[in-house]
Amino acid sequence: MVTILDVGLLQNFSIIFSLVFVIAIVYGIFQMGNIFGDNKGLHALIALIVGLMVIMVPNITKIISVMIPWFILLFIFILFLIIAYKIFGATDSDVLSVLKVDNVVIWVIIIIAIVIVIGSFSSVYGQNMLSKTTSNTTGSTGTAAGQASDTGSYAQNVSATFFHPQVLGMIFIMLVAVFTISLLAMKAK
């Protein structure tokens, strides 16, 4: 049954989306950095050549196809956050001053972007690398819930690893340590 929200046809155009994404990013970098001067035609030509070279490699196209929706979601979230601040009375200069003065916001965006890139790489290459490393082993490692951590699905492997009781316990202990150190390091008023 076909619905209005059926986006299965868009998967056939993922190469075009990847090409446009790479061209836009490379052109933007060249325009911001003035690498080859102020020649917009040269910037566009180099961006087109880099975009065409990128789509020649299918795995890079898959990585970009995984990354694009997450970066769009991040951009929309940031846009809605700025709109919410402006609704409550913040001006454009207030928003820009936070971005210029407070480096925490920039670092959070950079860390989220790095997580998106690492997640995209692991989504494309993860199961292949797992198959190469576990092909010599005879059995699978079981978790407390009875799931194997070397199944055929990379997503199941990641969730079985992250939700293993030992990993959750380690994360809890590290969070307690971080909060303890931060409370001990604060100055008394």
Q: Which of 91, 117, 134 is at the close of a domain?
A: 134
Q: Is residue 70 part of a domain?
A: yes
Predicted confidence band of residue 17 (pLDDT cuts 50, 70, 90): confident
User: CA–CA distance from 86 to each of 100, 102, 131, 163 (Å)?
Assistant: 17, 18, 50, 39
Q: For 102-130, what is the mean pLDDT?
A: 84
Average pLDDT value for residue range 151-159: 72
**pLDDT of the residue at 158:** 74
Q: Show which of 134, 149, 170 is a domain's final residue.
A: 134
What pLDDT was estimated at residue 148?
55
Judged against a pLDDT cut of 70, whether residue 183 lies above it is answered with yes
Whether residue 187 is contained in a domain is answered as: no
Q: What are the backbone dihedrals phi and psi of residue 148, each rounded to the nearest 5 degrees, phi first? A: -85, 145
38-86: pLDDT as tens digits: 888 999 999 999 999 998 988 888 888 888 888 989 999 999 988 998 8
pLDDT of residue 26: 92
Burial 1-35 (b: 16+ CB within 10 A, else e): eeeeeeeeeeeeebeebbbebbbeebbeebeeeee
Instruction: Decide if pLDDT at 163 tops 90.
Output: no
Please indicate, yes or no, whether residues 77 and 49 belong to a single structural domain of this protein: no
Q: Reply yes or no on whether the pLDDT at 189 is more than 60.
A: no
d(CA 91, CA 99): 13
Residue 74 near residue 112, CB atoms below 8 Å: yes
* pLDDT for position 77: 93
> In terms of domains, do 76 and 124 share one?
yes
The radius of gyration of the chain from alpha carbons, rounded to an integer in Å, stands at 22
Q: Establish if 18 belongs to a structural domain.
A: yes
- Mean of pLDDT over the chain: 81
Checking if the pLDDT of 143 tops 50, the result is no
Q: Count of CB atoms within 10 A of residue 61's CB? A: 19
Establish if 39 belongs to a structural domain: yes
Do 93 and 122 fall within a single domain?
yes
pTM: 0.65
Q: Return phi, psi of residue 142, to 5°.
A: -90, 150
What is the C-alpha end-to-end distance of the chain, expressed in Å?
65
Q: Is residue 46 part of a domain?
A: yes
- Residue 139 resides in a domain: no
- pLDDT-derived band at 135 (thresholds 50, 70, 90) equals low
Tally of CB atoms within 10 A around 168: 12
Pair 48, 70 in one domain: no
Domain with 17 in it: 13-56
**If pLDDT is split at 50, 70 and 90, which confidence band does 131 have?**
low
**Number of domains comprising the chain:** 2
In a domain, 85, yes or no: yes
- CA 145 to CA 164: how far, in whole Å? 8
Q: State residue 188's pLDDT score.
A: 61
